[in-house]
Structure 1
Amino acid sequence: MKFSANLGFLWTDRALPDAIRAAKAAGFEAVECHWPYDHDVDAVASALRQTGLPMLGLNTRRGQPGENGLSALPGREDEARAAIDEALAYAKATDTGAVHVMAGFAQGADAHATFAENLRYACGQAEGRTILIEPLNGYDAPGYFLNRTTQAAALIEEVGAPNLRLMFDCYHVQLTEGDVARRLEKLLPLIGHIQVASIPDRGTPDHGELNYPHIWQVLDRLGWDRPIGAEYKPTGDTDASLRWLSAV
């Protein structure tokens, strides 16, 4: 298994370029982030070149305080597309492979239609990059528009863009739907990225209710050879939390 350090949760005590260097020193084979926009893009690109680590993905902005994305919010299309443009520009400057377009808190047919149209826009502007959508669980993100893998799969089919893919976060899927191994098998053709954390505490993927040794075996059998996102919240120092990595 290969792993990507999610720098939205790991080494958050450091500036993003320094966190990239820490991920390299720790043995990760890629990095990813949440919202890098407060960090100078040239410094981030330089750290990526220096370490040789690819940046796998980043998120569109959440919006105003208390929001969690804009792209499923009717009447906010201009803001949503500005956030998409900003994310794609940052991704281009850092050679980041994917942009996660965040839906936001919304419900209903109008939200569905708005999200689908904004995804079509994002896919058309992506210049070869992947656009990701991620179902979030209702405990951490109550009211988030996209909350189930079946909903995401239907949207991917509806939009019909070859570069629109599912971000399969085992933490969110287990909390909402369960049956992670079979869902990975079924949804593999749609998956663009996989992330992991323990359930229910979102800690290191070596404890909790999901048997990650089994998940590693499933992914190996399925032929998954891309880095898996370590998107967990360490309790204390990130370096001290990495013992799980040597056991995989």
Structure 2
Amino acid sequence: MKFSANLGFLWSDRPLPDAIRAAKAAGFDAVECHWPYAVPAAEVKAALDETGLPMLGLNTSRGNVAGGENGLSALPGRETDARAAIDEALAYASAVGASAVHVMAGFAREAEAHRTFTANLRYACAQAPEGVTLLIEPLNRHDAPGYFLQTTDQALVIIDEIGAPNLKLMFDCYHVGRTEGDIVTRLKDLLPVVGHIQFASVPDRAAPDRGEVNYAFVFDTIRRIGWDNPLGAEYKPGGPTDATLGWMAAYR
């Protein structure tokens, strides 16, 4: 079993290049991040080259965070800003060699939000260079009330409607566990459209060796169904990251 360190949460107290080096020292097989744009891409690429770790993915900009935004692509009337964020993410991904971009939908419940989101996703799929996958991720209603994309069924409808081979589902076991439950069954059913898998404990989003989900069983199932890409550790360590990594040896 291979694991990717999500540096949006893990070693978030360090500059991103140093967090990449820490992930390598801890034994991770890959890294991923949230919003790396304040760090020059050349610095991130140098750290990736130094460690030999691949960058699996990054997110499009949230927009005006102080104003309560958490993504732009489903917001009617914000198409220009959404597509600028998509262009920014694709350019950064190309510069650092990232293989995926998560297109964030944002807070939107208007009837036209679906049309807006699908139009922006079609734009992203057309603009993405070869080898870069676009991901969409449902966020649970407890952590992100009002977020447009809330369930895997909703995501599947969108993926089927667009029909682009480079559009996939980010299957986050934490979000699915909080909103839908039955993680293993949902994952098996959705496997053909899954582009990346993430995890954290449920319900507190901590390391996977606590909480109500038996990750030994989940990871064993993932292994048996033939998934061999690194799984994204996107959990909140609640203290020094290195002190929370005991699960890695147990679950490998």
For the aligned pair, the TM-score class normalised by the smaller chain equals: over 0.9
Q: How does 1:162-181 map to 2 (within 5 A)?
A: 162-181=165-184
Q: In 2, distance between residues paired with 1:125 and 1:240?
A: 41
In the other structure, the counterpart of 1:183 is 186
SS of the equivalent of 2:212 reads coil
Matched, 1:118 2:120: yes
In the other structure, the counterpart of 1:137 is 140
Q: In 2, distance between residues paired with 1:67 and 1:108?
A: 15
Residue 217 of structure 1 is aligned with which of 198, 220, 232?
A: 220
Matched, 1:68 2:70: yes
Amino acid at match of 2:224: R
* 1:43-83 alpha-carbon deviations (Å, 9 max, x no partner): 00000011010000000000012100000000000000000
Matched, 1:102 2:104: yes
In the other structure, the counterpart of 1:203 is 206
Percent sequence identity over aligned pairs: 69
Matched, 1:148 2:151: yes
In the other structure, the counterpart of 2:163 is 160
Matched, 1:241 2:252: no
CA RMSD of the aligned region, Å? 0.6
Q: In 1, distance between residues paired with 2:219 and 2:94?
A: 31
Runs of 4+ in 1 over 4 A off after TM superposition: none
In the other structure, the counterpart of 1:26 is 26
Matched, 1:88 2:105: no
Q: In 1, distance between residues paired with 2:80 and 2:175?
A: 29
SS of the equivalent of 1:109 reads coil
Q: In 1, distance between residues paired with 2:110 and 2:71?
A: 16
Amino acid at match of 1:23: A
CA shift for structure 1 position 217: 1.3
Q: In 2, distance between residues paired with 1:90 and 1:82?
A: 12
CA shift for structure 1 position 10: 0.4
Taking structure 1 as the reference length, the TM-score comes to 0.99
CA shift for structure 1 position 220: 1.0
- Which residues of structure 2 form unaligned runs of 5+? none
Q: In 2, distance between residues paired with 1:76 and 1:96?
A: 26
* 1:183-228 alpha-carbon deviations (Å, 9 max, x no partner): 0100000000000000111000111111101101110111010000
Q: In 2, distance between residues paired with 1:26 and 1:42?
A: 23
Q: In 2, distance between residues paired with 1:151 and 1:12?
A: 31
Amino acid at match of 2:222: L
Taking structure 2 as the reference length, the TM-score comes to 0.98
Equivalenced residue count is 248
Amino acid at match of 2:118: A
Q: In 1, distance between residues paired with 2:214 and 2:166?
A: 31
CA shift for structure 1 position 109: 3.0
SS of the equivalent of 1:99 reads strand
Q: How does 1:22-61 map to 2 (within 5 A)?
A: 22-61=22-61
SS of the equivalent of 2:112 reads helix
- Which residues of structure 1 form unaligned runs of 5+? none
In the other structure, the counterpart of 2:11 is 11
